[in-house]
Structure 1
């Protein structure tokens, strides 16, 4: 068959399929819509994702040990996207433990959050509400917190009949696999990203192969390993301390714990290259540290100039400067509005401000614990050792 004949046959086949299944039944790759990526305020996250930021219209799992910042990371990223797009955030609060005060401290626009009141925290009801609400197009994302807490209708009926006895461990895993397989394409088509918060649990320790493989896994079986577009694993590392002046006695210097470092690992990534890693600082009561990320990005982009003697300054404003990185960080911690100025500059936006509005005296005095959002109750002598990924770390 000649080339002209094959092309004619192809056009005829495409026309027939288009008549049966719609306009976009068959497309070339160039005609496929590109994934929308929003750069986050976390420079380390953007680099480790290998796609430049946070993807939209995807199924994403964030897992890790308790207090590793799973929910905090999800909120900070979706809050930024909600401010940019003006859309709302859907919260499937299965744990019923979300604090409005904490969300406000993170800068989340709480007036844009919608929380369904579920009669039962089942997989079926969670997906029913998500599918119906996200299909409206009014939401930029959804946080399901958490997978481990969800149950199934069959499990609840079994409890009513038999009490808490019986083994129903596989019911939820099978149902989640089916739900993601059947409903996943429709959820992605809404353009909203669904973030599943997942815990880490130990595998049952029995049988002759108890010591083989990774002893940890995430609830839900293989559902998220197979069907999620991106999986992020968080691992808490060492505590972060800073030397500051005591609020009670400004002449006395103390080391206070302001948070801890957390390692992010992209153990699955369909949007970019997988296995990217980054270390970010989770500040006590403040969320992940935007200041450190902004300074790193500023240095790499040239917005912030780092001199050979350690001095840091804004390239287009020599009045915003400090003799060391520590004092430069303190400058933005003491002046939250100045941080917004830096973020605007990094995003290429023109911003007008008066340097006299800010407290630029951090060079001539010691910053106190309360000024950087720390508490003297967290005074420490020596920080714990830094952790790292082991050979048996989760790899998806």
Structure 2
């Protein structure tokens, strides 16, 4: 693996392309201290990679008994091209991929554009929907409303308000 990656690195750099490897995690038996998880294939892939992402399923999204998607947490383990150790959570729906409305909902709540009290989502004192999936459906049913929320998010971020580095971090102004 190491010899192949040494040869590939130069060609990839010259051709300005990207190479994506997917790998699995395995458990080391008998590890008392440290992380018992390891990736098969040795250390070469960890060394030569520019960006490494740890993707984990946090929750399953169900409609009745049917699984329609998953909530995933992605953690940047290694990054040579940007700040490392960032964390993001988003919905991956089986029929559409990464859910844009789910991400809009998360960021709007994080920035205080939408408020959440219990399982209800509110906008300007008015209740939008109950539950996360209900709020996402409200966004899908009202594209003008979704555009308005996206515009407010962009304005808020452009004004200098910081989005937290990790889910649940407090705003630092």
Q: What TM-score range do you get, normalising by the shorter chain? A: 0.5 to 0.7
5+ unaligned residues in a row in structure 1: which ranges? Answer: 1-175, 243-253, 312-322, 349-396
Counterparts of residues 121-132 of structure 1 (less than 5 Å): none
Task: Say whether 1:196 aligns with 2:57.
Answer: no
Report the equivalent of 2:50.
Answer: 229
Distance 1:183 1:295, change over 3 A: same
Report the equivalent of 1:283.
Answer: 93
2:59 counterpart SS class = strand
Report the equivalent of 2:41.
Answer: 220
CA contact (8 A) 2:74 2:87 kept: yes
Report the equivalent of 1:330.
Answer: 137
Greater relative contact order (Cα < 8 A, sep 6+)? 1
- Of structures 1 and 2, the larger Rg is shown by 1
Distance 1:189 1:308, change over 3 A: same
Partners in 1 of 2:62 and 2:6 — Cα distance? 45
2:3 counterpart SS class = helix
Report the equivalent of 1:182.
Answer: 7
Report the equivalent of 2:123.
Answer: 307
The alignment's C-alpha RMSD in Å is 3.3
C-alpha displacement of 1:296? 4.2
1:196 counterpart SS class = coil
Distance 1:328 1:226, change over 3 A: same
C-alpha displacement of 1:177? 1.4
Please give the TM-score of this superposition, normalised by the length of structure 2: 0.61
5+ unaligned residues in a row in structure 2: which ranges? Answer: 114-121, 155-173
Please give the TM-score of this superposition, normalised by the length of structure 1: 0.30
1:198 counterpart SS class = coil
Counterparts of residues 254-293 of structure 1 (less than 5 Å): 257-293=67-103
CA contact (8 A) 2:91 2:103 kept: no
Partners in 1 of 2:108 and 2:31 — Cα distance? 49
Partners in 1 of 2:91 and 2:27 — Cα distance? 26
C-alpha displacement of 1:333? 4.0
Report the equivalent of 2:163.
Answer: none
Q: Deviations over 1:131-153 (max 9, x none)?
A: xxxxxxxxxxxxxxxxxxxxxxx
Higher helix share: 1
Aligned length: 137
Higher strand share: 2
